[in-house]
């Protein structure tokens, strides 16, 4: 079993725990990438930010494009 398969299986197992509270500890996920932020939210509030593909299309891509120095006014305003 490769490492990514193992991590994926651990993630699925941990999300199955029935508990009234969930806690995460993190550094700065937004400094790394927005997929990490989505992953943290999906653990605490499953489905709150939608599926990963929807989140990337509707939120992450516009945020990333609007943050570039050469972003157009439309891209900056969209964020």
pLDDT value of position 54: 93
* Residue 79, pLDDT above cutoff 80: no
Structure tokens at 64: 């990333």
* Residue 78, pLDDT above cutoff 70: no
Question: pLDDT by residue (tens digit) across 27-40?
Answer: 765 567 888 889 88
3 state SS for the chain = CCHHHHHHHHHHHHHCCCCCCCCCCCCCHHHHCHHHHHHHHHHHCCCCCCCHHHHHHHHHHHHHHHCCCCCCHHHHHHC
Domain boundaries in the chain?
51-79
Question: pLDDT by residue (tens digit) across 51-61?
Answer: 999 999 988 88
């Amino acid at each position: 079993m490769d490492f990514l398969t193992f991590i994926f299986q651990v993630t699925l197992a941990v999300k199955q725990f029935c508990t009234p509270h969930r806690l995460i500890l993190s550094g700065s996920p937004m400094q790394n990438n927005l997929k990490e932020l989505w992953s943290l939210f999906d653990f605490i509030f499953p489905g709150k930010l939608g599926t990963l593909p929807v989140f990337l299309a509707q939120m992450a891509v516009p945020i990333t494009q609007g943050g570039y120095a050469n972003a157009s006014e439309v891209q900056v305003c969209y964020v």
